[in-house]
Every structure is written in C-alpha cells, then in structure tokens.
Amino acid sequence: MPRFILVRHGESVWNMERRIQGNLDPELSPRGRRQTDLLVLHLKAHLPDAVAAIYASPLRRAAQTAEQIAATYTLPVIQEPDLREMSLGQWEGMTVAEIQAASPGRYEQWLEDPLTFPAPGGEDLRAFERRVVGALQRMQAAHPGADLIVVSHGGVIKTLLCFALGLDVRFLFRLKQDNTAVSQVELDGRLRRVLLLNDTCHLNAGGGGVAARDVLTDAAEVADPAF
C-alpha cells in the first residue's frame, strides 16, 4: 500500500527559545541543519528509490528541511500551502513562559483540550483538521499508489496521525513528533494504518560519531509541542 513518510522540520531558532511559531516564519537553527543532515542519510539508506514526490509546507523551517532531503533524491519540492502550521493567533511570537505569565493556566488548558480552549485569535481546530486532511487526500489522488515524503510541522503531522488512527483531533497533543522525527502511515481507501511513530533513531545514532548533544533537542524543549 502507498505510504506517506511524515517528517517534522528540523529545529528552528524559535524552537530553541520555546517560542510559539504557528504561521510565523523562523528559519532552521544550526542544530536543525545538522539534524536534517542525519535525517537525509537515514532516509536515503531506507528509502533509496521508493519516493515519487516530496511535498512541504511553504514556511521556511519546513521548506529548508525539504530542500536538504530533495537534493539527495534529485526531486523538486512541491510546496503545499495547506501543510503550513496551525495559526495560533495572539500567541505567535511569544515564549511559553510569557504566555503562562500573562494568562496562568491558559496554556495548559489548550494542551489538555485545544478544541474547547483554542489559542486566542487562532485557527479553529476543526477547520485546521479539514485543511490538512484535505491536503493529504489531494496528494494521494495526484500520486495513486506511490510513496510520498511530506515535510511539515508538529501540529500538522499529529493531526494526520489522529486521522490515520481514527482519533478525535482534540487528542493531538497526546502524540509526539520531535524535530526531524519520521512517522509513516498507509492509506488505501478506508483502510488507514500507522506504521511508524516519532522515529528519531538517526539522531540517537549520532551519525557516526556526532555527539548526541549536538543534534538532540533538550528534554525541556521537547516537553512542549513547540508549534
């Protein structure tokens, strides 16, 4: 069955600061570039000739990650606007600490139930779900039976995983998708299966001598969704 290889972008400069990104457009950090280098080696070893197309969010952190991957496969990156991250309204550009100080408890409510407690001024969760699932279905229709790499964002990939698992999207924060982590789903008509979830073995392996601290995000950072 055709597979979607779902890749979250490398660490951005705002991921380093635990700053909410949403639809804003920071670039990859130096560590994010190193993470992506290791990801490229991993993908090429395990998917040498099996990829028909590479799709990406147009936001820089995803587009830069996708360009590094595409150079290895000699495929163009197809930008899909509906793969961009969820808009988080007034929180975009703020750090998690700033949000917690300004509205105690509000950020935690959002993590627990983003449908009931959306980010102020942000995108409706159901509309976001329709947007990203619609993008997935269009990609599948454009490449029937083919394996595709999709480079996007934490919120997008978690939403697609909820769709594949038959989970309500309000539970997306119960899933994890680290920087450059790989998840895989199979879609064949009504049959949907998750084959791989949040695989970061390319980072843990260290790429043949690269120190883990040079590529792994700190525990305090990955504890948050880091949109």
The residue among 100, 98, 102, 119 whose CA lies nearest residue 110 is 119
Let me know if 46 is a catalytic residue: no
Q: Cα 197 to chain center, whole Å?
A: 12
Which of the following is catalytic: 46, 143, 153, 202? 153
Q: How many CB atoms lie within 10 A of CB 201?
A: 11
Query: Does residue 161 contact residue 183 with C-beta atoms inside 8 Å?
Result: yes
Is 143 annotated in the active site?
Answer: no
Q: C-alpha distances in angstroms, 83 versus 9, 135, 183, 213?
A: 12, 7, 15, 30
Q: Helices in 178-224 by DSSP H: which ranges? A: 201-204, 219-222
Q: Which residues lie closer than 8 Å to 10 by C-beta, 6 or more apart?
A: 28, 29, 31, 32, 33, 35, 36, 39, 61, 64, 65, 179, 180
Q: Which residues are marked as active site?
A: 9, 153
